[in-house]
Structure 1
Amino acid sequence: MPRLKHLALMFLAGMMLNATAFAVEYELETVATDLDQPWSVAMLPDASFLVTLRPGGLVHISPEGEQTAISGGPDTFYAGQGGYFDVVLHPDYAENGWLYLSYAHGDAEGNGTAIIRARLEDNRLVDIEQILLVSPLKDTPQHYGGRMAFKRDNTLLVTTGDGFEYREAAQDTNSELGKVLRITDSGATPDDNPFPNAGKGRVFTYGHRNPQGLVIQARTGDIYMHEHGPRGGDEVNHLLRGSNYGWPMISYGLDYSGAYVSPFTEAPGVALPRMYWSPSIAPSGMAFYNGDLFPEWKGQMFIGALVDQDVRRLVLEDGQLIEEERLFRELEQRIRDVRDLGDGYLYLLTDSATGSLIRVRPASRAQ
């Protein structure tokens, strides 16, 4: 059995914008390690885990930390930022057994974000169906998006990137680059999408760059997403159907050359972010904490940061940021995913060739 390692450290909550007066004590427990570039984690009904590995692997991790490779997954374009991305369970997984995997489909000449649904049987994916392939394909191995979330009506949202070299396509509702798409759980196009006559009719929102965080607040059903800016301008957006979020018409960051992407930070008809970071923190992963083990954090948003190697705890009031705090800096690791998996804990994935699945639990003396 792989060892379970507790970091023998208890930390008080750090202070940033309007930080709270209370201190939250926690421990970090390594559930599994030596994971090759883990990207996303889901929890099965038996409290075991599924973790995607960007080079094209899916791993089952038992509650005790034992790892088993899952076979039968789709081939993937592992280059640049491509590979396996998100894994989520159908809201009725206990009844139908469907799980959903997003990944980079294709090759160097033509590739794009895709989704399969499948069932898990004896450590193998079976009944595999590709239910989405973003249109058009592109010839760049960057900016896939790839995060998924189920709405209350069991339709599925998926983020797509702009392909890096195709940023103008983010403003074209006939293209599925730089969008959030909405499909049914079987891959059909819902009749009530906001642009039924544009392209394949799957566009839900547009004007995005490279969204790698997507979460739906359980209490309200509100949809939040974050996306990478260029040099600065990482955004947190509140998504409303049919809305334009501006990329590349407006931006709070510079191009990598140092030139302006756009001289504008707002424009008529464009939804503005609820917050942004300049310089970039490179956000990845996103969760609302809904558990009871950390009552001080209940209802608050958590976002992983790749560049800053921490997790941002955000407090929103009426959709506006009123508090921000940096957590888990003691790991000194890029944080690829952060999840509330429903058992009261918070979970993190660190991003490296020997990445780890980490459980955030109340400090022993606080339990």
Structure 2
Amino acid sequence: MIRSFPALALVSALALAACGANGSAANDSADTAPAATTKSGKPFTSAEMGTFEEPWALAFLPDGRILVTEKKGVLKLVRLGGDTVDVAGVPKVDYGGQGGLGDVAVHPDFANNGYIYLSFAEAGDGDTRGAAVARGKLVLDGGAPRIEGLQVIWRQEPKVSGQGHYGHRIAFGPDGMMYVSSGERQKFDPAQDLNSNLGKIVRLSDTGMIPSDNPFYDQGRVKAQVWAYGIRNPLGIDFDSDGRLWEMEMGPKGGDELNLIKAGTNYGYPKASNGDHYDGKDIPDHKPGDGFEPPKVFWNPSISPSSLLIYKGDLFPDWKGDAFIGALSGEALIRVDLNGETATKADQWPMEARIRAVEQGPDGAIWLLEDGENGRLLKLTPAY
């Protein structure tokens, strides 16, 4: 059942968020297995399919066209081998720092209802801002492509100062619910405060209503949204084929984490982390009995993860069910072998560029977006 009040009052959409990098170098190499190799040293070939200005996310439409968000507040509609056009009706974004236009997601029943979802950094009163998610109908006929009826269906509460750690990735689960990753906005303590939805994974219906089986449903509107908490800067969420939700987040100085998300669970930040604060202050490591759920794997030094894909295609059969992570400071594509609830580091392929997003195409190819100006859209296919 869905409770009758929305996660927030529906209002006109305003502004959009995007996340940047932190951390330092590359992945722990000690427990990283060597990749299958070709003459290029990689088991895939890479083809450039376009370039964009500060791209942040991509999503495929049922007809094979691609939606790409650009951080300054532009949504592109890409027809491979054809034209790339701007989509009208995108919300105004609060661009700066890690903020701007963020994720784009297509409703599971898009073919019938036409809904898409955008996350973004939205300006507030004074020098405040926060992430928001809006939905509207993508209209592709009768003129230029446009979004109609765009409405905000979720917001970070409260809005705070600063321009970092929005999180705001969107994923639809096999239960039909919408999951949104919400960063703690570099404010630390809100991640542990259930009266705030910062530093959380929230679970809502596709219209922004609150499901009655959420773990804190009967504890007030903001608490009722929360699915999991104690999270820092969650820049990737995806479901595996068995319906498990995985989350990838930037830790502090070191301690980037891949987590298996469970309802009502506390993941520890800022009370526990395998990294430390940037000012050198210690954060206790995860340890048995501390009351917090530890990561399945972590990276120290940091890789600065940007995104997460659980691969479900057939084009790379040996990787089916594995996790793929885009790395910003690590400038790499990283594979983690998933086996049920167990995760093991597997491959780290240097890409010579900051990787902002990773997605699966309709044919099973793996698609990447490079970060920054003239960021390339890359299609990866098997090298043999």
TM-score in terms of structure 1 length: 0.90
- Give the Å deviation of 1:322: 3.1
Q: Cα RMSD over matched residues?
A: 1.8
Q: 1:336 aligns with which of 356, 361, 367?
A: 356
Deviates more, 1:118-127 or 1:54-63: 118-127
Once the 2 structures are TM-superposed, how far is the Cα of residue 65 of structure 1 from its aligned partner?
5.2
Match of 1:104 in 2: 121
Distance (whole Å) between structure 2 residues aligned to residue 268 and residue 251 of structure 1: 11
**Matched positions, count:** 345
Aligned runs of 1:180-191 on 2, under 5 Å?
Answer: 180-191=201-212
Q: Percent identity?
A: 37
Correspondence list, 1:1-367, <5 A: 17-19=32-34, 25-33=43-51, 35-64=52-81, 66-107=83-124, 109-121=127-139, 122-164=144-186, 166-196=187-217, 197-200=219-222, 201-217=224-240, 219-260=241-282, 262-266=283-287, 268-327=290-349, 329=350, 331-363=351-383, 366=384
Q: C-alpha separation between the residues in 2 aligned to 1:278 and 1:204?
A: 27
Q: How far did residue 272 of structure 1 move?
A: 0.6
Contact residue 286 and residue 338 of structure 1 kept, 8 A: yes
1:9 is aligned to none
Instruction: Spell out, residue by residue over 1:60-115, the C-alpha distance to the aligned partner (whole angstroms, 9 max, x if none).
Output: 11121531111111111111111111101011010110000011111562211100
8 A contact 1:30–1:359 mirrored in 2? yes
Mark the runs of 5 or more structure 1 residues left unpaired by the alignment.
Answer: 1-13
SS in 1 for 2:168: coil
Q: Distance in 2 between matches of 1:252 and 1:210?
A: 14
Paired letter, 2:43: E
Answer whether contact 1:36 1:53 (CA < 8 A) is retained: yes
Q: Report the Cα distance in structure 1 between the residues aligned to 2:269 and 2:49, rounded to whole angstroms.
A: 38
Identify if the C-alpha distance between structure 1 residues 57 and 188 changes in structure 2 by more than 3 Å, giving closer, same or farther: same
CA 1:128–1:109: 2 relative to 1, 3 Å: same
Range with bigger deviation, 116-125 or 50-59 = 116-125
Aligned-partner SS, 2:227: strand
TM-score, reference length from structure 2: 0.86
Residue aligned with 2:154, SS: strand
Residues 283-339 of structure 1 show CA distances to partners (whole Å, capped at 9, x for unaligned) of 011111221121122221100000110110111223223342112x2x411000011
Task: Kindly indicate whether the alpha-carbon contact (under 8 Å) linking 1:112 and 1:133 is maintained by their aligned counterparts in 2.
Answer: yes
Q: Are the counterparts in 2 of residues 40 and 336 from structure 1 also a CA contact under 8 Å?
A: yes
**Contact 1:339/1:347, CA 8 A, preserved across alignment:** yes
Residue 201 of structure 2 aligns with an amino acid whose one-letter code is V
1:254 Cα deviation from its structure 2 partner: 1.4
After the TM superposition, which segments of 4 or more aligned residues of structure 1 sit over 3 Å from their partners? 18-25
**For 1:147, what is the secondary structure of its paired residue?**
strand
Greater relative contact order (CA < 8 Å, ≥ 6 in sequence): 2
Residue of structure 2 in register with 1:7 after alignment: none
Take 1:16 and 1:269, find their aligned partners in 2: how far apart are those partners? 27
Separation (CA, whole Å) in 1 of partners of 2:35 and 2:331: 22
Q: Is the 8 A contact 1:338 1:347 kept in 2?
A: yes
